[in-house]
Amino acid sequence: MLEICKILMDRGYKITLIAPGNFTATSTLYGSIPQIITDGVHQDFDRISFNEYTFKSWANEMKILNHRYDKYFNNYLQAYKETKADLFFCNYIANEACFDLALKLKKPVVAYASSTFPSRLDPVIGCHVNIEKGSFYNRFICAIVQPLRLHWMFRDYLNHINARRAEVGVSKSHDFREKANTLFLTNSFFGFEVPTAWLPIHQEIGPILPDTFPNLSSDLELFLSTHLKTMYIALGTAVYTTPKNYAILLQSALELINRNILDGVIWSTIKFNESELPSTINLSTGEVIPTSNLLNNLHPHVYIIKNENDELEVNIESLLRFWITPDSRMGFFRGNYLDVFGAAMIIALALISSFGYGFYKVIMLVTENIFSEVGIRKVS
C-alpha cells in the first residue's frame, strides 16, 4: 500500500497515511508520505496470534481488533476533516470503521489486501487450500459445514459491529467477509493461490514492488556471494505461526542444506517467540544443532534477519500446475462441487420435508383434539 501511495504522490495526488506506528518518518523509500499516527493494536493480539490459528482464533481476533470501533471511527473522521479526502483506501482486515465512514460520507472506497481474501478453502477453517484428492466427506465438510460454523462463530462480532454502526448512523451488515460494490485490490498474482471465480470488481494487481531497493548490508552481500543456491524465507509483517511450525521450517531448511539442494537460507522475520522454540534441532542424519546458533547467526549456512520488513518470494515454477482450473483435473461434477452441493440440497429438502410433515401432523392432532372436545360438549 505504501508503494501505491508513493505512485499516487508522484502523479500529483495528495496522500495521507493513517496507521499505528511510525511507518514513514524512518523509511528510506516512503519518508515523503505524510502520516497521521493512531493507537497500536490491542495487547492481547499477539497472545492469540502466537497460538494455533483456527477460525475460532480468527473470530476472537476480529473482536479484539474491532473492540475500539468507536475510537477508530472518530480517528478516521477527524483525519477526514483535516484532509478532506475524495477517495478512501481501506485495509480489508478488521477495518470496518474505515469502510463505514466512507459509506456514511458517501465517498468512494477501495479495499486492499495481501491475499485473495476471503478464500474459498483455507487452512484457517481446517481445510486444505486444494482438496483435489479429498474424499467426498472432506469436501462436504469444507464446502458446506465449515462455512456455516464460520458464520456462527462470527455472530457475536457482527452483532457488536452492527450495534456500533447504529450509533454512528451506518446501516447494518450481516456478512463479515464481503462488501458489495467495493473495488478490491489484491497484492497477489495469478497462480499463487488456487483459481477462484471473482467478481469483476476484484482485481489482482500484485506483486506491487518498488522500482529501487536499499543496498544490502555487507553481511548479506558476503552471505549471498558465498552461497549461490540461497532460499529466502519471509512470512510477511503480519503473519504468525506456532513455535512448533517455526521449528519444522528450520529443520526443513537445514535438511535441504545437508542434502546439497541448497547452499544457504536467509530468513527474514518480524515476530519470533524464541523462548518457546526447542533448544536443539535434530536432523535425519543424527546431527544436533543448537537453536541458539541459528538465531544468533552462528551457523555458516543460515542467516536470520530480525525486525525487517521484507516481502515473500515465491517459486512460480512449483505453482504452475495449480493454474489449471480444478474442473479440468477433477471432472465437471467434482471440480464444481456439484456432488457436494447436490447432497446438501437433498439433506436440506429432507430436513424441510421432515419438519414440515411433523408440523403438519402436530397441527392435525391439535385440530382433531379441539373438534373432539367441541363435539363432546355439544353431546353433553
DSSP state letters, 130-198? --TT--HHHHHIIIIIHHHHHHHHTHHHHHHHHHHHHHHT------SS--TT-EEEES--TTSS-----
* Amino acid in the structure at residue 325: T
Phi and psi torsions of 350, nearest 5°: -65, -40
* Listed residue (182, 181, 157, 161) closest to 171, CA to CA: 161
Judge contact between 112 and 92, C-beta under 8 A.
yes
**Confidence at residue 162, expressed as pLDDT on a 0 to 100 scale:** 87
Phi, psi of 113 (to 5 degrees): -150, 165
List, for residues 44-71, the tens digit of each pLDDT value.
Answer: 555 555 566 666 777 777 777 677 888 8
Give pLDDT, residue 190.
Answer: 60
Low-confidence ranges of the chain (pLDDT < 70): 40-55, 65, 114-124, 129-132, 174-181, 188-199, 206, 236-241, 270-273, 307-339, 371-380
pLDDT given for residue 124 in this prediction: 67
Say what the pLDDT of residue 300 is.
Answer: 92
Q: Strand runs (DSSP E) across the chain, as ranges? A: 17-20, 35-38, 88-91, 109-113, 183-186, 202-204, 230-234, 264-269, 280-282, 288-290, 302-306
276 contact partners, CB below 8 Å, separation of at least 6: 50, 243
Residue (of 77, 120, 126, 121) closest to 97 by Cα position: 77
- Give pairs for 173-176: CB < 8 Å, separation 24+: 176/62, 176/151
pLDDT attached to residue 247: 86
CA atoms within 13 A on the CB side of 203: 8
**How far from each other are the two terminal CA atoms of the chain, in whole angstroms?**
85
Rounded CA gap, 290 and 298, in Å?
10
The three cell numbers locating residue 84: 478532506
